[in-house]
Structure 1
């Protein structure tokens, strides 16, 4: 039985090109290459942890035991797995639905081989057959293949300073169930909050199950640093959390002794959360949702720098549709870049960080609004021709200056001149854009030869839950054989 507190294995060197169309309340996004969190697959052992016995830490690689070989020779099952992955990628990445004959032409496989592999995907609930298309040629009508509806699904969960949310998305991108609860979770106790979000996630998972879907895995978004193994929160300054084993705490809070009696110590599991339960950074998962949105709308993999505000500010760089999280997953902490070293102290302990000028709390306070006010209220206030309106405009101008300073450094370092504003920055994009662009033109060395674009996303409320669900569904697209009944 798979340990859900660990991430599923991902094959090294996989071509990540397939697409998941987002539907439901997400705006009917069409097909396109699916975005991916992390540039490389993570090699993990049978227990979900990192592979052992392959390096001495100094660069010398030892020969692993035969059964742990990282690139074993081809066997019949290996060829089946590779071919099934190729067929799945073709189906999910195609702009138009493909038939078995189309797949045979694209892959060079015989029609009989393609047919057997498609039968596997049908049995796994990964694809479905559409209505036959009668064309002008002789022979059998072509039967288009589509991602399956309401069969396998991913569960995305998020806990942030002022809300918790859960969302289940199937392979077509349709939202099967979701729930969002507002609250104040700053400086909270994880032992009190995590059982609440566990119950929320369980309710949403059960709603999806009632609709006929099976949750394959759960990814929880957190506003802070998580371990490279995706099994523990290291630090979330705005929540006030440090060193928390989130998956284990959630599972243990929901599972009574009778459910855990036959399980090894330290590996609680709840089947309704799927085969794995991992944690990831909120901004990275939001960027994943944005990358999927833009790739589908513009029919191509996108490169941009994503910056998002909740109570804090997170960011991620997306290169060709891939959210590059860095070797340990800690890249993108732009909220703690110093824009004025002698400025106000930040919750992280440093001073003059971007968050103290442009974070949601700082922005609302500077505008004279209550902490619970929305970005839309701030926009409305800027339209007033009086002192409160002027104060709001000055607050936004200061936030735009701070963002421009920090983003100029990012553009100089990364050579990415497409900026995407998400979270609370989205509704403020039109007001923030002029000052951000002014700073970019002034501070970016290559500004003269660059064409900056500052735009907002339309991924909706709690985009990290969408990103979490997409991240979970990669386990299906990356390893389809795992879900075939007789093979899994």
Structure 2
């Protein structure tokens, strides 16, 4: 019961900081004495910070409470095909340090990437200067409930990899990067409670949010949008299939089709082809899931309004049970999954103080 009440009080601080003890008692229905006892415990644990009182009238002024910006922190790491990123967030989810380095992993053993990730994590932890209590690692592949990477077509040596034991002794979880990017949209961009988030990169993944909760499927395999077939006679894919979406709308496919190394220099016909392919795959997903919003993230916001408008037009043509589907460009850019990874650590700490 006490743990439940600690979480209850902490949750109210998260929702309404800065807040007084009296306000917490009113919000939770607990007695003032109980609230004060719980608050002292949370202060001792470094989860809360007591601010100086502001005198605004007669009587004894209250000392407002807020989350401790110098308290426990979360580490996020993202390992992609061609880069590694790391960041540290405080209890509010604010990024306190971040770094990114190029790093090629397509044909490398997982230990190579993880070793570089650990080194980068040490750098951001030192810069943040906070006590990191756990880490979450985002990867571009299917991740089982126990954290084992089941399959990552663009990282062929990663099948069966366990990331956690290779880290610095921190508690580590592993998750799909598109799932985390979808949560970032929900947590940090006031994203809708029912949406399909599309993460464009070397591959194309999707995160599905239904009723404000991430839907992962029975084995964590939901959201493999990049391997939906959009052209049965199309090119071979690393997954073993043919004509998958990522072979038209993935980063490497776009650059190849545009005969350029710069996403900003893609010609209109390449964007139109990507929009048509995305429209085919997304229309099937929207018809199946009945979500009202599609969010384009990863590299897609960089491609801008022309891509968004073209995808919207394709969905209007193909979705049969909705008069309109809203298509948004993510405001978070390519760093959403990384931030959500780190934030998932502190959110769990706040949920279970």
1:357 to 245, 248, 251: 248
Residue 106 of structure 2 is aligned to residue 186 of structure 1: yes
Are the aligned partners of 1:226 and 1:280 in contact in 2 as well (CA < 8 Å)? yes
Q: Residue in 2 aligned with 1:64?
A: none
Normalised to the residue count of structure 1, the TM-score between the two structures is 0.69
Superposition deviation, residue 173 in structure 1: 2.4
Structure showing greater Rg: 1
Whether contact under 8 Å (1:429, 1:455) holds in the other structure is no
**Structure 1, residues 33-90: CA drift from partner, whole Å, max 9, x if none?**
xxxxxxxxxxxxxxxxxxxxxxxxxxxxxxxxxxxxxxxxxxxxxx111111111111
Structure 1 stretches (4+) deviating beyond 6 angstroms?
Answer: none
TM-score normalized with structure 2 length: 0.94
Gaps of 5+ in 2: none
1:389-404 maps to which residues of 2 (within 5 A)? 392-404=267-279
Q: CA contact under 8 A between 1:294 and 1:302: conserved in structure 2?
A: no
- Shift of residue 147 of structure 1? 1.2
Residue correspondences, number? 352
User: SS at the partner of 1:462?
Assistant: helix
Which moved further from structure 2: 407-416 or 394-403? 407-416
CA distance in 1, matches of 2:111, 2:28: 51
After superposition, residues 458-477 of structure 1 pair within 5 angstroms as: 458-477=331-350
Where 2:160 maps in the other structure, the secondary structure is strand
**Structure-2 residue corresponding to 1:341:** 232
The residue that corresponds to 1:317 in the other structure is: 208
State yes or no: 1:134 paired with 2:48.
no
Q: Is the 8 A contact 2:197 2:296 kept in 1?
A: yes
The answer to whether the 8 Å contact 2:248/2:277 transfers is: yes
TM-superposed CA distance for 1:245, in Å, is 1.9
1:271-290 maps to which residues of 2 (within 5 A)? 271=169, 273=170, 276-290=171-185
* Structure 1 unmatched runs, 5+: 1-78, 252-269, 382-391, 481-488
Counting strand residues as a fraction of each chain, which structure ranks higher?
2
Single out whichever of 106-115 and 340-349 deviates more from structure 2. Answer: 340-349
- Aligned CA distance change for structure 1 residues 414 and 461 (closer, same or farther; 3 Å): closer
* Map of 1:431 onto structure 2: 306
Deviations 1:412-463 (A, max 9, x none): 1111121111110111131212221122111111232x3x221112224432
Q: CA offsets, 1:207-241, max 9 Å, x none? A: 33xx2x211111111100112112x2121111222
The 1:185–1:341 alpha-carbon spacing in structure 2 relative to 1, beyond 3 Å, is same
Q: Which segment is superposed worse, 336-345 or 316-325? A: 316-325
Relative contact order: is structure 1 or structure 2 higher (C-alpha 8 Å, sep ≥ 6)?
1
- 1:46 corresponds in structure 2 to none
Counterpart of 2:197 (choices 306, 328, 342) is 306
Q: Which has the higher helix share?
A: 2
Query: Which one is further off, 99-108 or 187-196?
Result: 187-196
Q: Which residue is 1:217 aligned to? A: 134
Counterpart-to-counterpart distance in 1, 2:66 and 2:203: 39
